[in-house]
Structure 1
């Protein structure tokens, strides 16, 4: 593990102006916060962030990134807070630490959901600052180096699979090939242990038996180029074990038939020397047709630049050769990290083109499975190059079609595609594009993405956009059906339903908007009864009145009174059956029945209190309402209609106040019980004619 002074010295070597005190404070802070925590290896936990910081110094990253690496686990695993980090180390460091921390709070989620959510947050965090990705890749690489200490095979497999599916491809896409190769190798060891042992064993065997053959070939290449007056460095190595296994799996070959196991790298002094060296190599040795790629004139999307070729050496041995300058080599090995080195003045903003596409996919994906599918398609690359008629270049996965091309140019163009010309000829939309094709997209203003396109598009961006458009179209059609059903439901509630009642129903049902409600009705995701209850709360309760309702000779009965004692319902609170009640008995008078929460009871009335309850008869109870109506024609009639629909008799109706644009009415209403009164209030509040309704 790096000691404190060693880490600071590493940073000062390439950035003499770095704040040594701040770096020391960050080192001490992470050691103190992690305290006695241990890793699975038995090492102190703080050794992990220190090693990640060391990886960042290898990339010569700025001091903010180094400090972020030191602190990246403190907020998640200790009592540290983002606010504390901001106070001690500044706003930028706090933002970076928060970006890395958010990615780690989802380990308890199911596997696919966790991976998808991890990737979603990852991409969104990266869109703000690419250094979040660089620290996270360093974090994952160090975790992979210590993965063998984890006892659970299932956990090791899960972490290795996530690394292979998400982190290694992301490292490749930002050009960090050293990280990618090591992650793939360590994940391969866990996921395919038998294949790993077999291939590494065979490579070791070749290494022992080749008698220095790699060095001999490297020397022959260097001598041939030196004879042509080129000053170069040449290195050779066996190919990566995972890439060998992948080639064996894809081509169904045994190890003995994988002929291009050796790869060589030629480093030149200038870009023009790259092409001169390539010419010499092709003159001295036969090159294999179809294996030459010029990534200098047409770089990969991650900025990778190099010439690739494959040669037939002595004894029909195939070897791969990469030719590049020293500056290209640094960028190729460390990708975007190279641009973030402390010296660079023109740092990238993190919003490289492929990342923008991934952000679009995050927005368009419907669920975890879709997100993983689309992002894997976007991250993995086996590229072809196609041009617009005006000469703009677009890189696409092999097998891409004009529809993929259209979505790559612009999502709106993809959605409006109706046809395509490839190299000037009308061709079917499912035609695979070739390298160098010129593609002209024919669009229609009323065109829409078609479900059938999913049968041939290959890019994640196109698949996500098509699925989203198809879902929205289906949703709109279902919502239109739901609107018709809603109109029928509205006729069955005891109130006239307007926009206000509909908005309230959406709120009560906890939906996003009115369209969500219509879709839920059309898709049978909600019952009619739920919609009615949301429109007018209480309206689905039993509303048929008992037969004795119309028998005016029946009276209200009260339990708790001595036989023959008269009573009256208090005018101050107008209690109705369902309210909790109490009786007040004054000398020489009958009993006055009050609601238990009546304000008059708090005034200290000199009377005997009686504990009362409602009897079985409840005809003739009067509830008092205050309704504020909009002062316009028909409002009063609409309120009266609500009373009639709810079978409530009006005992008294008084206009108590008029103040444009409102009119206030006091209403004495004969009701069955409290539930009946509540339903009427709900219907009033749902009406567009009523601004406010309350019980007095």
Structure 2
């Protein structure tokens, strides 16, 4: 748009009519399915929009009001309700004109004003996972969708018209907008089941981002050999004849994959154009569900289906509500032809998704299964937002959900859950309930125990085994694929980390205060509150966590809390860290303790802690070669020792010299496994014709466990020596 924000509006001015033919076309489309009073409101929205945008033009030179009208036309083609069409006409008015929100609410109702306001917040979004502001804008868009899902329908129509008129933009802007469209808007349209908008967004985005590739594939699609086109016509005629013989009322439509769909299949499967099997296909639309299966039997009797390529999305609909039968048939073309079979209602939902049969009786209600699924998806995203993820992380989680390529999994009671491709039993557990996921210990798939990181396949039945004492592990983040599972795991780990940090920070500050012959309980409340306020800590727990994470030195905090005593003791040297009272650790403080990889301390070793900003306490063995460097900063030493009872497994490195012959590695690995130890990694350090040197990184419980492993491996005939690194 070329004009700046309009001056204050005189709402009593005569309304201009810059686009009489365009608004007549819109009213004709809307009048075909809306009552007269709705058409009157749409006309009033046009008059108000034309007045508000008067004098503003698009980069193409057209009056700006042509754009909101075109957006409303796209939505009218989807048979959206009158409120949505009014909001579409006014969707830029709050952002770019002086039209008051209150006037929109008074004239068209509060729901229209809310939709306009919701879309307005999205107008200047530039999606980029590198920029926190852009990710925050995306979060706001999802929140607007959760309040009224029609907001995203207006935004999708707005983006579609912008893509249709992209030629007036600079090359750089075209590429940026096209990339946004392919990464965000088209996937959202697909997730909401609006196939007709999704397909056009994909092809227009492809054309703008990769114009040469688009041109080549579009030409290939248009210039198919005459023989191939004739064969397709022959198949169409035979299909029609065969289904008619079954006395089934039907509608038969041939279809060709779009350029973007063909390109992604070529790219993902590394195929040439001629190797893409289902470029051509047919859609059979019938009246009733049972007629779908009757038609399927008819086409299978005419052409043989490919084994394993039949999909029943009627019995198990996609997450966006899509229903259809898909089958791939051998044809006289020499390559398979896809046939889709569905009812008229399913066809409408397949093309228009949540816009199909729109019923909007009151805010938050939805009119069909696709709308219910879409609202559930949006609400699920917003529920995950309650964990206060950083905006960039929230955007990445949503992107995962935008490319589901689903598998359909059964619960033990026969219910069906749709999960993304490569989902695991753990993703399934979190899909059932967050508490089920957090306490998962094992899973049965089709009644057989499997690892919780196994990949699930459609049709499997999954049963989750839980234990009250079980908790999420950081390793779970390496294999879960759903945003719900990832968010819940991170939330739990951050909560545990914070609790551990507060506990350890409290002990560290107490030790520092003991050197001043006092304790935290004896610090006057007003002094403590003043220190927190001066250093911008909202509460004591945040200060204690900061100490444990190495961002505050406990000695300095202790002296600041007791300025009188610290001044008296300031001339006295602090006791050596080695001789201070030690903090006992039991291994459960993993959130704020890091076990160094230079010396791999394990229970039973004599240890010390070194406070590192941002990392917290890093634990080293007292015989670590780096101790000499750390001794130069005694104020960062934390005197620690192992508690009597220690939990968990700890990494340690063992260096093996073995005979260089086949099977030596397997024997060592088997001996380690027999001692109930996991092997994290194996590296060859050096080899010659006679001796191999291998370094195993393994997990042990303590020095006793490590000694048992060393004894057992030394007895192997192929091992010459074993030593701890």
Return the TM-score normalized by structure 1: 0.72
Among 166, 175, 182, the residue aligned to 1:157: 175
Match of 2:462 in 1: 439
d(CA) in 1 for partners of 2:101, 2:474: 46
Residue 470 to residue 110, structure 1, CA distance change in 2 (3 Å): closer
Residues 1:378 and 1:10: Cα distance change in structure 2 (over 3 Å) = same
Post-superposition shift, 1:265?
Answer: 0.6
Aligned pairs for 1:622-641 (under 5 A) are: none
Distance 1:169 1:364, change over 3 A: farther
Separation in structure 2 between the aligned mates of residue 199 and residue 40 of structure 1, nearest angstrom: 30
Partner of 2:59, secondary structure, is coil
The alignment status of 1:254 with 2:272, answered yes or no, reads yes
- Which residue is equivalent to 1:239? 257
Say which SS state the counterpart of residue 127 (structure 1) adopts: helix
SS at match of 1:436: coil
Structure 1 Cα separation of the partners of residues 47 and 352 of structure 2? 29
1:523 matched residue in structure 2 = 549
Q: Deviations over 1:389-417 (max 9, x none)?
A: 12221011222111010011111211111
> 2:33 maps to which residue?
14
Query: What CA deviation, in whole Å up to 9, does each residue of 1:63-100 have, x standing for no partner?
Result: 11111101111111222333332233221111111111
Of residues 409, 412, 428, the one that matches 1:389 is: 412
**Residues 139 and 395 of structure 2 are in contact (CA less than 8 Å); yes or no, is this contact kept in structure 1?**
no
- Structure-2 separation of matches of 1:462 and 1:241: 35
Whether 1:188 and 2:211 are equivalent positions in the alignment is no
Equivalent pairs, count: 542
Corresponding position: 1:175 with 2:193: yes
- 138 and 504 in structure 1: CA distance in 2 versus 1, 3 angstrom threshold: farther
Cα distance, 1:509 vs structure 2:
3.9
Distance 1:533 1:157 in 2: 58
2:471 counterpart SS class = coil
In structure 2, how many angstroms separate the alpha carbons of the residues matched to 1:131 and 1:320? 33
What is the alpha-carbon distance in structure 2 between the residues aligned to residue 105 and residue 490 of structure 1? 53
- Hey, what does 1:476 align to over in structure 2? 499
Note if contact 1:106-1:118 (Cα within 8 Å) is conserved in structure 2. yes
| Superposition deviation, residue 109 in structure 1 | 8.1
- For the Cα contact (< 8 Å) 2:366–2:372, is it kept in 1? no
CA contact (8 A) 1:127 1:350 kept: no
Matched, 1:87 2:106: yes
Equivalent pair of 1:288/1:311 in contact (CA under 8 Å): yes
1:288 aligns to 2:306 (yes or no): yes
Distance 2:473 2:131 in 1: 28
Alignment correspondent of 2:95: 76
Deviation at 1:238, TM superposition (A): 1.5
Structure 1 residues 281 and 498, CA, compared in 2 at 3 Å: closer, same or farther?
A: farther
Once the two structures are superposed, residues 328-348 of structure 1 have per-residue CA deviations (whole angstroms, 9 ceiling, x without a partner) of 111111111114257999625
* 1:501–1:535 contact (8 Å) kept in structure 2: yes
Structure 2 CA distance, aligned partners of 1:341 and 1:59?
13
- Greater CA deviation, 504-513 or 76-85? 504-513
Shift of 1:107: 4.3
Q: How does 1:672-691 map to 2 (within 5 A)?
A: none
Is 1:130 matched up with 2:149? yes
CA contact 2:231–2:333 (8 Å) conserved in 1? no
**1:219, 1:234 within 8 Å by CA — same for their partners in 2?**
no
Q: Is the 8 A contact 1:61 1:342 kept in 2?
A: no
Q: Secondary structure at the match of 2:155?
A: helix
Contact 2:129–2:395 (8 Å) recurs in 1 = no
CA distances 1:237-275 after superposition (whole Å, capped 9, x unpaired): 211211111111111111122232102111112111100
Unaligned runs of 5+ in 1: 545-696
Alignment-derived partner of residue 166 in structure 1 = 184
Return 5+ residue gaps in structure 2 as ranges.
Answer: 1-18, 569-725
| Preserved CA contact (<8 Å) 1:402 1:432 | yes
Q: CA RMSD in A?
A: 3.1
TM superposition shift of 1:488: 5.8
Report the CA distance between 1:481 and its aligned residue. Answer: 2.5
